[in-house]
Structures are given as structure tokens and as C-alpha cells.
Amino acid sequence: MTHDPPRASTAAGAGVPALAAREVSRSFGPVQALSRVTVELRTGHVHAIVGENGAGKSTLTNILGGVLPPDSGRVEVSGEPISFASPAAALERGIAIVYQELSLVPDLSVVDNITLEVQPRRFGLIDRRAQRARVRQLLERVEAGGLPLERSVRELPVARQQLVEVAKVLAREPSIVIFDEPTATLPGDSAEELLRLIRRLADDGMAVGYISHRLAEVDAIADEVTVLRDGELVWTRRAEDVSTGEVVSAMVGREVDEAFPVRSATADPEPMLEVASVQLPGTEPDGISFTCRRGEILGVAGLVGSGRSRIARYLMGLEGHHGGRVLLDGRSYRPTGPRRAIRRGLMLVPEDRKGLGLILQLAIDRNLTLPSLDRLSRFGVLDLGAEQRLAEEAASSLQVVASDLSVPAATLSGGNQQKVVLGKWLAREPRLLILDEPLRGIDVQAKAEIHRILRELADGGLSILMISSELPEVLGLSDRVLVMRDGRIAATFDEPPFVADEIMAFAAMESTA
């Protein structure tokens, strides 16, 4: 792995670690989540901790952050063994965690969220002037100085909310910060902005832990890399001494073919979907026009705000009618709502799998069969046997890894949750499947499995519209690529191999080509 030349402080092993876990173990009933794991975070370093879902990363983070006590082993701060009774106790020693799930209060303002636990006071009352001055300093530090202080967090885009979350953590003046999948819900350009901030925090003298499935991010900012697998430490090495392939192999215990699966069939030239002159707001005067062929994976690339997801929402009937013409499987189609879309064979795997794709506390089998209940019922009575067979077939075909299909979907790893979302719509036998950010927040092995599944589906004749911020996936899986910019289709690339720089040039700026 390589990144910009490291600072003088990045020589591994220099000085006493700011924070360390020594021979830490933790179990939950019969499940051994961690077994004698040692990790050291050093001042001025970004230390990446990687592994598949279930490798023990979150358990380790919770132990370091005072959420969980270890069963054995110890935690050290600046070489001193210490036991935290709570996250507040860890914060008192300068240890802060930025979790993937934000801890903001949506209806409070930016200024009140950032200082919620550290409000400056004067004569027993909140010192509003000092509060605002402090928040401005913190927002400048995270390069978000232009945020309106009195706006409620709910009104901000997710990328800005993430920066407010970081500012809130920095308000506690920690010396050690651990980031747990902080870019999982961010588009590519916002993720890069956050990565620069994290690198800068280390350069300014913090000890930084970084947990991520995205190995390109690890490559970009890490000084050291620790790999966990099945709750055990595989190795810790300097980032500059290992390749991405070595990290992947260590994570999964074997070599993983990082190449994208090759098509065994070619797309039918006949269109499954034809969109002509649909004038979503901002696309006038020409509107949006494109086709998706039978058995084709049509990739849709573009930066945040480019309008990619609006195409999915429009086709599902969530954006209203905006003129033009749509044909689905050769027949006129007017998107008036999700029910009509599903009846016509058009189905969406949404970006937010936890909020929109699954009912997390519902059993896995019930999640898999939920969209198909009308087909599994007769005279209003559900055929339980048929329901169970459908769930088992869907789980088996997608290789969903679960102890039992009757357990809640919340117990699954991110990759297996995504397989369930995909499986529940495949059970309806779609004609056109729309995937909005299908690979967000899942580990490298799960990505490889979903790559294979999507290729097999396309080879079997399913038309797929794939919207993604993961440019390597767009380039590697797509048969053709649409590039969105400012609500319009900026370019269409008809034949692989696709060139990332060319696609980004159209996505980011006006092209004279």
C-alpha cells in the first residue's frame, strides 16, 4: 500500500502507544468475538483495523471506547493499565469514538448539537456568545465553516451531518479518536473530504484508529494496518510494506480474485427500458433519454447531487410525472407509484438497506417473503409451507450465511443483509432491477459474492440499472455506463473497457469533447 510520503513520526514502534489493547479477549455466550488481540495506536499515526463483518472490529472498538469490558487482557493509556466503567470514563482519558451511526439530535441546531455535552456557562447560564465562537472554531477545523449555526441538523445533507458529528467529538478535546466506518453512507467526493480531515488530525498530533471495509481508503491514509479474522489477530504491519492483495487474503484466509467476473453471455440489443425526454426539474429543455437492454447491466455514475438516485425514484413512481415517454418491455409505462412499478416487474434495491430495505427486527425468512405474500396466499390465507420454501430457496441461491432463518435480520452482517434485500425482490421475478448503491458498507468478500450474483443474473437475462458511487464497480460490472451531471446525462460510454479519468471528467466538469 502506498500513499503520500509519510511524516517523520510514522516509523512504526516509536515511543509509548497512546492507546493499546493487550491480549484482549471477549465472548458473548458461546461466541468468541475476540481472542487475545493486541493493537497499539500511536500519536501522529492513522492505524487502520480491517476485517470482514464478524471479525471483531466493533467489539474491539467498544472495548477501547469503554462500552464493553474485556473478559481478559487489558487496555493501556500512555502505557498505564486502566479499566473504563463507561464511555464517559474513556472520554475523560481523551478517547473518543466516531461511529457509523450518527449520535446527533436531528431537531437541535448545529450549534446546540456540537456543544450538547460541553456548553460554556456564565453565571450558571449558557454563554451563547462563547458557545457560538467555540462552534465556529470547531467547524473551521473540520472545514465546514460555512454551515449556518442555527439550522437544525435534520435539514443538512448526510455529508454535512458527518462533519458536525466530528466537530461534536472534537469539542471534547480528545487526544485519541477512533473512526468506525465513517464513510459508509457518504458519496465518493464527501468521503474523500472526510479522509483528508482524518489524515490532518493525525498530522496535528492525534492518535487515530480507522475501521473501514474500503481498502482504497486504508491505502490513502493509513500508517499501520491490523487485520482481524474470526476474532483473532492475523498481523499488524506498516501500510507501506503490504499490498491490497495481501490485506484481502489476510482478511478472508485465502486469496480472493479481485477481478470482476467475465460475462458468459451478451446483452440482447432489444431494449427492456426506454426513457425518452423525461423532464425532471433541472433537465429542461431536452430532458433525460436512455435505454437499458435485456440482460444488460447499465451503470449510472456521477457525483453527489448529480441526479442519479432521482432516476430510480422517478421510475418507481416517487417523483411524479414529468412528461416524455417510458416503455417497459415494449409497453407504455407511466410511473405513478411503487405498487404499479412492482406489478410491471420493476423493482428497487434502495440505498438505505436498514431504513428502507429491511425490517431489522423481523425474521430473515419473513423479510425474504414479504413482497411475495400476495403470491403465497389463497383466499386471504397465507400458505406457510410455501412461504418457508420460498425463503429457503432465496437464501440458498444467494448463499445467505445465517444460523437460522427465523432469527432477526438485524443479526446478519452487512453483506448478508444486502443479499436478503436483493433476494426478496428476486423472488418476485423482476424484469428490471434497480440497484441504488448496492455495495455500500459491505466487506470485500461479500462484494465479490454480490459481483458474481449480479453477473449471473444479467447472464440469465435480467436487466439491471446499477447506480453507484463505487467507480471500480461501475467500471468492472457494467456493459454500458451513463454519466450524470447536474440532473442531466453528460455522457454515455457504450463499450468496455471504461476509463475512470474520462468518466470523472464528464461527471465533474463541462466537457468540450
Mean pLDDT computed over 425-452: 86
Does the structure show a pLDDT above 60 at 12? no
Distance CA 271, CA 495 (A): 16
Does the structure show a pLDDT above 50 at 38? yes
22 versus 510: which is more confidently predicted? 22
| pLDDT for 197 | 92
User: Highest-confidence range of 51-65, 269-283, 361-375, 461-475, by mean pLDDT?
Assistant: 361-375
User: Highest-confidence range of 5-14, 188-197, 369-378, 437-446, by mean pLDDT?
Assistant: 369-378
Instruction: Give the alpha-carbon dihedral of 88, 89, 95, 97, to 10 degrees.
Output: -30
Mean pLDDT computed over 496-505: 83
Q: Are the C-beta atoms of residues 158 and 182 closer than 8 Å to each other?
A: no
Q: Are the C-beta atoms of residues 439 and 473 closer than 8 Å to each other?
A: yes
| pLDDT for 491 | 93
At 437-447, the pLDDT tens digits run: 887 767 777 78
Cα angle 53, 55, 56; round to 5: 110
Query: Measured between alpha carbons, how far is residue 303 from residues 442, 497, 503 in Å?
Result: 21, 21, 11
Q: Do 15-94+174-255 and 257-345+430-513 have matching folds?
A: yes
Distance of CA 308 to the CA centre of its chain: 17
Does the structure show a pLDDT above 80 at 5? no
Residue 149 exposure: Cα atoms within 13 Å on the Cβ side: 17
Q: Which H/E stretch holds residue 131?
A: helix 128-141
Neighbours of 456 (CB within 10 A): 15
User: Highest-confidence range of 70-74, 322-326, 495-499, 501-505, by mean pLDDT?
Assistant: 70-74
At 295-306, the pLDDT tens digits run: 999 999 987 667
Strand, helix or coil for residue 498: coil
Q: In what order do the strands lie in the sheet with 297-302?
A: 346-349, 432-436, 463-467, 297-302, 480-485, 488-493
Does the structure show a pLDDT above 50 at 9? no
What residue type is 24 in one-letter code? V
At 49-89, the pLDDT tens digits run: 998 767 889 899 999 999 999 999 999 999 999 999 999 99
Lowest mean pLDDT among 9-13, 299-303, 347-351, 409-413: 9-13
Q: Are the C-beta atoms of residues 280 and 256 closer than 8 Å to each other?
A: no
Which CATH code for domain 15-94+174-255? 3.40.50.300
At 235-271, the pLDDT tens digits run: 999 999 998 888 888 887 755 555 577 777 777 889 9
14 versus 309: which is more confidently predicted? 309
226 versus 244: which is more confidently predicted? 226
Percent of the chain with pLDDT over 90: 53
| CATH H-level superfamily of 257-345+430-513 | P-loop containing nucleotide triphosphate hydrolases (3.40.50.300)
| pLDDT for 303 | 73
Long-range contacts of 212-216 (CB under 8 A, 24+ apart): 212/48, 212/50, 212/179, 212/181, 212/182, 212/183, 213/50, 213/181, 213/184, 213/441, 213/442, 213/443, 213/444, 214/183, 215/50, 215/244, 215/247, 215/248, 215/444, 216/244
Q: Which three cell numbers stand for residue 65?
A: 471506547
Does the structure show a pLDDT above 70 at 185? no
Q: Which three cell numbers stand for residue 303?
A: 457525483
| pLDDT for 6 | 35
Mean per-residue pLDDT of the chain = 87
DSSP state at residue 92: H
Does the structure show a pLDDT above 70 at 500? yes
Indicate the pLDDT class of residue 187, thresholds 50, 70 and 90: low
Residue ranges of the domains in the chain? 15-94+174-255, 104-171, 257-345+430-513, 359-427
Q: Which H/E stretch holds residue 96?
A: strand 95-98
Mean pLDDT computed over 434-439: 88
